[in-house]
Amino acid sequence: MDDAAFEQAVSARLVRVADLRAGLTLPALGDGPGGLLEVLVDVRARLDQVEEFLTQLTRLRGAARRAARQTKDAADDGWNASVTGGQRPRRGDFGEAAPRERYAQADLAVLDRRREERRMAYRVSVAEEAVELTQLAYRGLSDTRRDLHVLLRAIEIENSLER
């Protein structure tokens, strides 16, 4: 998946999560238990959908982390191979070039891999942000659900006192 497709996939999920969180209509005060129950069922359905998006985004984040780690390892291995010339270095063996020169040559040899490493780190950052935002939406809906439960119980208590 290229970068544009990755960001589009994450963005589409975040837009849907935001719609699920913000599109909730709370019952009017006079709706009574029936209205509260209806909204409670709607919130539960929204929570289920947000949880599914959270699962998908967590998987994307995991895949991005693994790819970033592989890219970093490949860049590090390439740098090490470039510095040592593919052989195990011997103590005090720097050839004709000074250590800084060899390190600069190794940096240049793996420049493309380092760019790829930074690109993958950016993907991880995008995925982590998406997971955090989805978790916030989930907690917000969960708190709303809990508040509706409290209101429903208060109505039950009030009705039992009137008998």
10-56: per-residue pLDDT in tens?
999 999 999 999 999 888 777 788 889 999 999 999 999 999 999 99
Contact 59, 85 (CB under 8 A): no
User: Which pair of structure tokens corresponds to residue 46?
Assistant: 């929204």
How confident is the model over 143-147, as a mean pLDDT?
94
How confident is the model over 131-147, as a mean pLDDT?
96
Amino acid at 62: G
Separation of alpha carbons 23 and 56, rounded Å = 21
Helix (H) or strand (E) holding 24: none
Amino acid at 16: R
- Vertex 114 angle, CA 58 and 72, to 5°: 45
User: Which pair of structure tokens corresponds to residue 133?
Assistant: 């935002």
